[in-house]
Structure 1
Amino acid sequence: MTVLPGLIDAHVHTSGRADLEELARWGVTTGLDMGSWPREFVDEMREQEGVARIRSATIPAVGRGGHHARMPGFPAEGVVTSPGEARAFVERRVADGADFVKIVTEAAPPEGMDQPTVNALVQAAHDHGLLVVAHSVTTGAFRVAVEARVDISTHAPLDAVLDDDTIAGMREIGMVSVPTLTMMEGTAKLFAGLGFRYEHARDTVTRLRDAGVDVLAGTDANSAPGAPFAPKHGESMHHELELLVAAGLTPTEALRGATELPARVFGLTGLADDRVEVEGDPTVDITATRAIVGVWIAGVRVR
């Protein structure tokens, strides 16, 4: 048997208590929610007992015509079109109790936000002491995020392997990566005709790890209508760990990316009594994380 800290999924989307139950069932005791609304729903999910706890970005900032803005039910207040609107957006997230700010750096105008707008969002968030997470699925989006001095990138590029200059820029500003290889794998299969290749994301993770960039485990688990792919809450975390190891991380590095590192990067507290007991030794065989014997949240056994 091996006892681990409770696992932390550094990229999920929450649609209800059932998602939090599934996270806990699979040993994920904390989920970092990268986009949920309205405020009342997020507050309700934060107060659930006996299931995984969440921290949330609430509403992400997106461009006017990008994919996210067209998703069913996306709130209009999440659309940011100029630097002048950026501070007001962040002020609303502060009022909503957001734990961090999420922005989509994917497209240029008119679909997405221009560089000055992304810069203004990051500066406003930092002025409030909030971390900024950038959605980036292409190499161009990573360059936008680096120039804006974003704290955390989520996803990995599918159009090409990340170049030396961009990786050096990430190291220089201390940017952390949450590559969501599970989501990249599924998305690449769906959009292979557009030239998207999972190998680009995988090889980028190898290069980030070799360059000393911290890599966190996150899955983009979701059940949202309009999402290109829907990893399952909880179960997908174990696949993510396996993909990280296949990309060159050691099992111990992958486990740190699902426990110690996200707790430190996101300033998570109150997790000391969260733990997972598994059969076998996942520092030798990462697939042992699936052999769950017990899960405890805040010292209370939930499985």
Structure 2
Amino acid sequence: MRRVGATFIHDVRVFDGESVAGTGSVEFTDGVVTDVTVGPGPRPRPGKGTQMVDGSGLTLLPGLIDAHTHVFGVPDNLELALAFGVTTELDMFMGPADATRALCELAAGRDDVADLRSAGWLASAPGGHPAVGMPRLPTVAGPGQADAFVAARHEEGAHFLKIMVDDGANHGMSLPALDRATVTALVEAARRRGLVTVAHVSALWSARLALDSGVDVLTHLPLEAPLDDEFAGRLAAGGHAVLPTLTMLEMSAPPPSPAAPVGRTLGEDPRIAGHLPEHARRAIASGREGLCADHPRPEHRFGHALASVAALHRAGVPVLAGSDANQRPDRACPVVHGASLHAELALLVDAGLTPAQALAAATSVPAARFGLHDRGLIAPGRRADLLLVAGNPAEDITHTRSIEAVWRGGVRFDREAYRARVAPASGSATEDTRDGTP
């Protein structure tokens, strides 16, 4: 990462990752926040040569964390994410191990792409989902193989462990799935090595199995029925968290009305469209690949997922923002990197979170859950991964789309140069230039 001089953002509303702290100033140097001053009282005096940024009418947030993505080894996906204020992606399945490690190292050393953490190879049953279509994928045949599997992933550099609890029904198949004893053994082996466990759940039965097995984080939600208050209470009592991926679920469920899913409307929002590559715009508009349920059943309803999030939120279960973005230039998945997290935030608010709680779900909450203690908050000593937007997203969550500037490690990302390079036909939108930088 480049060493950069001091930047001082003044007269800016500060959402610190948990709440709106007030209006004041934030200073950062060499990629680290050095001072945060809000509210009444004396203001710090920036040193000579400090880059000044006028934050009047703007809100400064920690860089967003998309807690569920699939990068597929494509660095361009990380650049697209950064263009929309996502400074960290948590990848839930990628291989082979050497390529995954190399991409994580590349992302760590560059300031023009989002940072990356990855589960590497996920755990699934032999002949199950997705192993049935990937014959070289390592699998787990039973609890006796769990420790060796987790040890191998840990040695390869996995940052957490992804566990598939899925029988293929949402994809029109009947496949073997990991049983409770095997999932429990995987969780225990991961815990011994300090790895957070994340379970892909596809239905009520798999959500129950994951909870009974002690998995730390459940990702996705059942579409056939909502989780009830008893289940939500068990999650809360056990200290578990949930990553709903509402954007993906809305795309996968049968449409309840002629209205387009929130994620499908991103390409029509001028705050988003101008920085989307053409392949991403096409995928958002009509792509059907990579959905988590491509054979939906009559009982599937997106409203069930919204009701589940509401129940989880009432019970005090930490809810994390993750889009399940898995689009790439040759794969027309409608959930795209960066942009789709803004749809996820809007859907979390639709489910009952306040805008400020949705912002926390994409900043401080995933940072704490996945041990990313250097980010997720705007505070002295934290990374200067920052997002500056017009308006107040703690009141109107869609204001996260009105991006004025993005910094990764204290280095400002040139969004206008990115737009001109990847989306030259999108118009002449320009960034705010009140501070004299592009």
Distance 1:67 1:226 in 2: 22
Q: Which runs of 5+ in 1 are unaligned?
A: none
Alignment-derived partner of residue 10 in structure 1: 67
> Measured at CA, do residues 217 and 69 of structure 1 come closer, stay the same or move farther in structure 2, by a change above 3 Å?
same
Say whether 1:106 aligns with 2:166.
Answer: yes
1:76 corresponds to which of 120, 123, 137: 137
Distance 2:322 2:351 in 1: 14
Letter of the 1:90 partner, please give it. Answer: V
Letter of the 1:22 partner, please give it. Answer: L
1:196 corresponds to which of 289, 292, 300: 300
Distance 1:59 1:282 in 2: 36
Letter of the 1:8 partner, please give it. Answer: I
> Measured at CA, do residues 200 and 122 of structure 1 come closer, stay the same or move farther in structure 2, by a change above 3 Å?
same
> Measured at CA, do residues 226 and 119 of structure 1 come closer, stay the same or move farther in structure 2, by a change above 3 Å?
farther
Asked whether the 8 Å contact 1:187–1:229 carries over to 2, the reply is: no
1:175 corresponds to which of 200, 218, 240: 240
Aligned-pair identity (%): 43
> Measured at CA, do residues 88 and 242 of structure 1 come closer, stay the same or move farther in structure 2, by a change above 3 Å?
same
Alignment-derived partner of residue 226 in structure 2: 161
> Measured at CA, do residues 5 and 244 of structure 1 come closer, stay the same or move farther in structure 2, by a change above 3 Å?
same
How far apart are 1:110 and its partner, in Å? Answer: 5.8
Letter of the 1:202 partner, please give it. Answer: L
Alignment-derived partner of residue 281 in structure 1: 392
How far apart are 1:132 and its partner, in Å? Answer: 0.3
Asked whether the 8 Å contact 1:142–1:166 carries over to 2, the reply is: no
How far apart are 1:174 and its partner, in Å? Answer: 0.6
Say whether 1:89 aligns with 2:158.
Answer: no
How far apart are 1:67 and its partner, in Å? Answer: 2.9
Distance 2:193 2:362 in 1: 27
> Measured at CA, do residues 110 and 290 of structure 1 come closer, stay the same or move farther in structure 2, by a change above 3 Å?
closer
Alignment-derived partner of residue 41 in structure 2: none
1:133 corresponds to which of 181, 192, 198: 198
1:38 corresponds to which of 96, 104, 107: 96
Asked whether the 8 Å contact 1:202–1:247 carries over to 2, the reply is: yes
How far apart are 1:40 and its partner, in Å? Answer: 1.8
Letter of the 1:37 partner, please give it. Answer: G
Per the normalisation by structure 2, the TM-score is 0.66
How far apart are 1:173 and its partner, in Å? Answer: 1.2
Map residues 189-228 of structure 1 onto 2, 5 A cutoff: 189=254, 190-223=294-327
Alignment-derived partner of residue 301 in structure 1: 412
Asked whether the 8 Å contact 2:69–2:323 carries over to 1, the reply is: yes
Asked whether the 8 Å contact 1:133–1:154 carries over to 2, the reply is: yes
The structure with the larger Rg is 2
Distance 2:299 2:348 in 1: 22
Distance 1:18 1:110 in 2: 34
How far apart are 1:66 and its partner, in Å? Answer: 2.8
More helix by share: 1
Per the normalisation by structure 1, the TM-score is 0.94
**Any idea what SS the aligned residue of 2:186 has?**
helix
1:121 corresponds to which of 148, 173, 186: 186
Distance 2:336 2:355 in 1: 22
Distance 1:102 1:282 in 2: 32
Alignment-derived partner of residue 364 in structure 2: 260
How far apart are 1:169 and its partner, in Å? Answer: 1.7
Asked whether the 8 Å contact 1:134–1:152 carries over to 2, the reply is: yes
Higher mean displacement: 108-117 or 40-49: 108-117
Alignment-derived partner of residue 243 in structure 1: 347
Distance 2:156 2:114 in 1: 21
Number of residue pairs aligned between Structure 1 and Structure 2? 301
Letter of the 1:7 partner, please give it. Answer: L
Higher mean displacement: 279-288 or 263-272: 263-272
Letter of the 2:137 partner, please give it. Answer: A
> Measured at CA, do residues 117 and 227 of structure 1 come closer, stay the same or move farther in structure 2, by a change above 3 Å?
farther
Higher mean displacement: 257-266 or 137-146: 137-146
Distance 1:293 1:159 in 2: 40
Alignment-derived partner of residue 22 in structure 1: 80
Distance 1:219 1:138 in 2: 18
**Any idea what SS the aligned residue of 2:253 has?**
helix
Distance 2:137 2:320 in 1: 31
